[in-house]
Amino acid sequence: MQFSTFGTKFSQHSGITQLMDDLNDGLQNPDAIMLGGGNPAAIPEMIEHFTHLSQRMVEDGSLVSALTNYDGPQGKSSFISALAKLLSDTYGWPISEKNIMLTNGSQCAFFYLFNLFGGQYDDGSFKKILLPLTPEYIGYADSGLTPEIFTSFKPTIEHLNNRQFKYHVDFDALEIDESVAAICASRPTNPTGNVLTDEEVRKLDVLAQKHGIPLIIDNAYGVPFPNIIFEDVTPFWNSNTILCSSLSKLGLPGVRCGIIIASENIITALSNINGIVSLAPCGVGPALAQEMIKTGDLLTLSENVIKPFYQDKAQRTIAKLQQAIPDSRFKIHKAEGAIFLWLWFEGLPIPTKELYQRLKQRGLLVVPGEYFFIGSELDWDHTHECLRMNYVQPDELIERGIEILADEVSKAYAGS
């Protein structure tokens, strides 16, 4: 059977598909140690909260109402109004219900955005999405309707104490010309746990405004929810920013709710795309989140339960890794947010794609770093020396995983 150009591109096995396959296989195999995928942790307080919340909403009819009705293509308007008020009250941003729309997960939002701005234009030009700092989120990699939609730059590396490091945007190298249609960065960053500093965001905003292009900030782990961010940085939005949030890392990946906050004309354009692609976004997540805004639980649980849970777990996992792998060539990116640790094995004699296979043979799933260097063919050893692991699993599984990792890394360094 022959497929169209679109069909051929999108039916290929991509990095993100491998990741989701592994996640699913692992869920079927009770012995697998799943440090690969991005499923949020099953935090007992959050599970209990969602259980009680959904029971209450079954009783008052609001859950069944969300299940049995379509919303408009912009998404559930009562939730959008409540969120607009929350954001303008909390941050003073000039946001109304005309600045927010919903998608079926923020993954879907990025597909819309990258293809709204990137690709072929009527005047014959071809425009790209600039990732100012790779490694970046693997889920962007294959989302262009046309190939080669991204262009990116490698970061500078700041070496920190205690075998840690931090990436920074290399503003001296960053080039923006008329072929760039938008800038995009995740903050906190998946896979590294990096958080762009206020200064970096300000500079990216200035560059975006200077070139008349939007700055897309992927806020899947950011504030005000789920608030998996351990640095004291300032939330950022203005009318040239497209801020993308999600209910997934709050603990609700199954409701597939992405949230876009942008200028009115972009919200109108994206709502029209939503109508064509999916009629309307799912209303169940917005119904739950609206209730959590009403009770105040959305912000208090994010601040008092979700953030401390991940922060504590990140620090404990780092300590275990450093103890298990004392080699000075092993370094960890400073954990500033998100749900992953980014491990760097400097001078590793095998690429991390090979290390990934060896670990998988032993029942440990991580993600090899190569996938995250999107948008450029970097001739840089570093791209083969890193891997991403999540730290959301129970401690005993993480410990077993670290044991296997330490063993395989020491074999690899020893040349076997």
Query: Which chain residues interact with ligand PLP by CB under 6 A?
Result: 38, 105-107, 137, 139, 186, 190, 218, 220, 246, 248, 253, 258
21 versus 89: smaller Cβ distance to ligand PLP: 21
Find the shortest distance in angstroms from Cβ 210 to ligand PLP: 26
Nearest to 29 by CA among 400, 381, 362: 362
For the CB of residue 189, give the shortest distance to ligand PLP in the complex, in Å. 7
Min dist CB 185 to ligand PLP, Å, is 10
Contact 296, 302 (CB under 8 A): no
At what angle are helices 352-361 and 395-413 packed, to 10 degrees?
130
Minimum gap (Å) between residue 415 Cβ and ligand PLP? 35
- Nearest-angstrom CA–CA distance, 304 and 335: 19
Q: Which of 87, 350 has the CB closer to ligand PLP?
A: 87
Nearer to ligand PLP, 194 or 246 (CB): 246
Distance CA 37, CA 287 (A): 27
CB of 43 to ligand PLP, least distance (A): 17
Q: Which is nearer to ligand PLP, 36 or 401 (CB)?
A: 36
**What is the three-class DSSP state of 239?**
coil
* Residue 125: CB minimum distance to ligand PLP, A: 28
Pick the closer one to ligand PLP by CB: 301 or 406: 301
Distance separating alpha carbons of residues 144 and 17, to the nearest angstrom = 15
Smallest separation, CB 242 to ligand PLP (Å): 13
- Nearest 10 degrees: CA dihedral of 290, 292, 293, 299? -140
- The pair of structure tokens assigned to 6 is 């679109």
Closer CB to ligand PLP, residue 195 or residue 409? 195
CB of 188 to ligand PLP, least distance (A): 8
**Is residue 96 within 8 Å of residue 85, measured between CB atoms?**
no
**Local structure of 347: helix, strand or coil:** coil
In sequence order, the 6+-apart residues with CB closer than 8 A to the CB of 193 are: 314, 333, 334, 335, 336, 337, 338, 340, 341, 342
When the beta carbons of 73 and 135 are compared against ligand PLP, the nearer one is 135
- Distance of CA 149 to CAs 118, 130, 241, 307, 336, Å? 6, 9, 20, 34, 29
245: part of which helix (H) or strand (E)?
A: strand 241-246
- Write down the least CB distance from residue 184 to ligand PLP, Å: 10
DSSP designation for 118: S
* Residue number, 53 or 255, with CB nearest to ligand PLP: 255
Q: How far is the CB of 108 from ligand PLP (least distance, A)?
A: 7
How far apart are alpha carbons 343 and 355 in whole angstroms? 12
CB 303 within 8 A of CB 382: no
Report the residue number, 131 or 406, with the smaller CB distance to ligand PLP.
131
**Lookup: tokens for 82:** 């409540």
Contacts of 51 (CB under 8 A, 6+ apart): none
Among residues 249 and 334, whose Cβ is nearest to ligand PLP?
Answer: 249
Identity of residue 383: T
DSSP β-bridge partners for residue 166: 158
Minimum gap (Å) between residue 141 Cβ and ligand PLP? 12
Residue number with CB closer to ligand PLP (163 or 317): 317
Residue 77, CB-side half-sphere exposure with 13 Å CA sphere: 6
User: Residue with CB nearest ligand PLP?
Assistant: 105
The conformation of residue 98, written as its DSSP 8-state character, comes to: G
